[in-house]
Structure 1
Amino acid sequence: MLTPVIIVEDSRAFTESKLNMSCPVCKQGELIMHYRVSKIPYFGEIFLMTIRCTNCSLRISDILAVHEKGELPERHEIKISKERLGDLVVLSSGAIVMIPELSIEMTISQETGGEITTVEGVLLESIEYINLMLKEEKNPEKRKILEKLRAILENERKKPSGKLTLVVEDRHQRSAIIPEKLWSEKVEEERIRALGMNKDLQKKALTLGKQMVREKMKELI
């Protein structure tokens, strides 16, 4: 699991909406969606969503990036440089994060939902993952390989060479790598209430919520 840089704890910041869908698990409850939208100028929106059943324990959470110019690509790829360490990495559930030069690959859990981190956060989590592997690995040769990988990642975090590549793949096209200059100073958190709500964003959120339920159910079957 990648270390998130944005953690939402204030549930009052979320808007509640009915999806007008019955629960696909218990067939009795109604699905309720709680969501919040962060607008990023010149990019689009990031939707933080949680869907729950009013009757059973069904709960679905995810983070979805939506580009203002249409569908996002399935694959995002950048060179890890000093200028890109602060880029925002929006990872929807099921997305795959890779550093191919080091044969590193991590999949975002379907159970925990999406995550938001930075390019530097991906490097830090990769280092932590290797540290966990070193605690279990007894083979001297394999330990040397892991220690070498850790040293490379630590050096790249401190002084990026521009030789490593960060790749994000998401077949649902809801993940993104957003340049730091677009979000660091310009992100505006929009707490959308029932009164004065932007109807376009409300409609988009409801559509995304219903799509998310259908996709999650297909994966569980």
Structure 2
Amino acid sequence: MSADQDTKRSDEQLFQDLDADAAASEVESLCMQCQNNGVTRLLLTRIPHFKSVILMAFECPHCGFRNNEVRSGEAMQETGHIHELRCTTKADLNRQIVRNNTASISIPEIEFTAPPASSSSLTTTEGLVSRFIEDLAADQEQRKEETPEVFQAIESILGKLRNSLTLPEEDGAETSPHAFTLVVDDPTGNSYVENLCAPNPDPKLTVRHYRRTRDQMIEMGYLNPDADDAQWTEKEKQLKVMKAVKDASEAKEILTFPANCSSCNAPCDTRMQMVNIPHFQEVIIMSTTCDKCGFKSNEVKCGGAISPKGRRITLKIEDSEDLSRDILKSETSSFSVPELDLDMIAGTMGGRFTTVEGLLRQLHEELSGRVPFLEGDSAESGRREKFEIFLQRLEETADGKVLPFTIIVDDPMSHSYVQNLYAPDPDPNMVCEDYERTFEQNEDLGLNDINTENYEQVEPAQNK
């Protein structure tokens, strides 16, 4: 490829790495103060924590008004995210938080909810609560004169918010009476709360995924309010995808549909095909390649019926040949390596069909380049050094320098697979355990509310 072509591709890339020499685009826009025209400068870039962002700076030469704003440039995620953080110590108050402008914040203990803000922000738990205190206290003097009852109610909330900032240094025998839960609900899935135990799960932090409602899509501007309800139901969209997959499976075709690159947000194509894995089942393999920035991604989704039981696969890796085993990690499975203290919860990295070595290298790539709050000047040196040691051990394990070790793939849907080199005979290095799913696992998978009998019949009570 010539130098001219490289330059052209770089120019076409929407979000480039943060650079002091990067040029901003200038757009003439209306000043809301004096109604004359000012200049808005736009810079599309990638920085730690926010990933892709849009930096905006407006200045009016007529009245001198200025305004700065940062917006997330990330594509809307597949699902909305709810981050629940239990704050009990000072360390929890120092956690960094990326709040997208579509995210609402709530503290259930004091019945406090803050609606989505006008702009995105990078702050800490303490900074977020302090901002709430500042905003609520701004008009208290006026409320005291005009509406004393509202003044008293807000004073009570302000007192509780101030108390929440007086947490102890460490967890003691008794939980602090001012401990609280911070809930960040972002329908776009582009808000983040720092995980102090990365790459392992944080016992104080819970992340839940949910499907956006039609009202949320309208509120964010992704859906026309006058659109027909039936046109946008999730069920109808799923039926269309299922029919397309079925038709492609019968014809052994590769489906291609438009999408957006998750790295630079440029339009690109995603390819999808049904593949039959020997001694397992059919799976859907999806591949995306961006011609603008060169980003590539692959994902696997399992088809077929839901297994009545979950399956836990334990494999002991003893030599380089074991590193070459095929492995299918579904999006519902967890993955752990006890020797490395590595424990990836379900949903991490989505579905993957690769080798054991390939999966370890993908984990290394994901953790080294895409874990928020462990890069940049704001990262604590002690945590960063500890994480770098972990990444080095993970890389050495993928290289086969650390043997033996054990991998555990635990899938409550039984949609994961590890190649048996002795098939159809049992593998002496692999143990497969089937187990009954717990109520909580069925609840997370949405299985408790599924009616599999007489579902086409409407109950008489509902007809009346």
| TM-score for both structures, normalised by structure 2 | 0.28
- Which secondary structure does the structure 1 equivalent of 2:182 belong to? strand
Could you say which residue in structure 2 is the equivalent of 1:118?
124
Q: CA deviation at 1:170?
A: 1.0
Q: CA deviation at 1:51?
A: 7.2
Could you say which residue in structure 2 is the equivalent of 1:79?
86
Distance in 2, matches of 1:104 and 1:179, equals 24
- Which secondary structure does the structure 1 equivalent of 2:135 belong to? helix
- Which secondary structure does the structure 1 equivalent of 2:138 belong to? helix
| TM-score for both structures, normalised by structure 1 | 0.54
Q: Mind listing any 5+ residue stretches in structure 2 that lack a counterpart?
A: 1-17, 26-40, 58-67, 169-175, 199-260, 268-464
Could you say which residue in structure 2 is the equivalent of 1:49?
54
Number of residue pairs aligned between Structure 1 and Structure 2? 156
Q: Which amino acid aligns with 1:130?
A: L
Could you say which residue in structure 1 is the equivalent of 2:186?
170
Distance in 2, matches of 1:103 and 1:165, equals 11
Could you say which residue in structure 2 is the equivalent of 1:38?
47
- Which secondary structure does the structure 2 equivalent of 1:159 belong to? coil
Asked whether the 8 Å contact 2:80–2:188 carries over to 1, the reply is: no
Distance in 1, matches of 2:138 and 2:83, equals 27
Equivalence map 1:10-21=2 (5 Å)? 13=20, 15=22
Quick one: which of 260, 263, 268 aligns to 1:204?
263
Q: CA deviation at 1:60?
A: 8.4
The answer to whether structure 1 residue 131 and structure 2 residue 137 are counterparts is: yes
The answer to whether structure 1 residue 97 and structure 2 residue 102 are counterparts is: no
Could you say which residue in structure 2 is the equivalent of 1:26?
none
Q: CA deviation at 1:156?
A: 1.3
Q: CA deviation at 1:47?
A: 2.6
Could you say which residue in structure 1 is the equivalent of 2:162?
154
Q: CA deviation at 1:92?
A: 1.4
Higher relative contact order (CA 8 A, sep 6+): 1
Asked whether the 8 Å contact 2:167–2:179 carries over to 1, the reply is: no
Moved over 4 A (4+): 14-18, 70-73
Asked whether the 8 Å contact 1:86–1:180 carries over to 2, the reply is: no
1:163–1:64 CA distance, 2 compared to 1 (3 A): farther
Q: Which amino acid aligns with 2:127?
A: G
Distance in 2, matches of 1:149 and 1:178, equals 26
CA RMSD of aligned residues (A): 4.0
Distance in 1, matches of 2:122 and 2:21, equals 17
1:140–1:64 CA distance, 2 compared to 1 (3 A): same
Q: CA deviation at 1:118?
A: 0.7
Q: Which amino acid aligns with 1:137?
A: R
Point out the structure with max Rg over C-alpha: 2
Distance in 2, matches of 1:87 and 1:100, equals 19
Distance in 2, matches of 1:62 and 1:33, equals 11
Distance in 2, matches of 1:132 and 1:114, equals 21
Percent identity over the alignment?
A: 20
1:167–1:65 CA distance, 2 compared to 1 (3 A): farther
- Which secondary structure does the structure 2 equivalent of 1:158 belong to? coil
- Which secondary structure does the structure 2 equivalent of 1:157 belong to? coil
Asked whether the 8 Å contact 1:48–1:62 carries over to 2, the reply is: yes
Asked whether the 8 Å contact 1:64–1:114 carries over to 2, the reply is: no
Could you say which residue in structure 2 is the equivalent of 1:22?
none
Distance in 2, matches of 1:14 and 1:118, equals 30
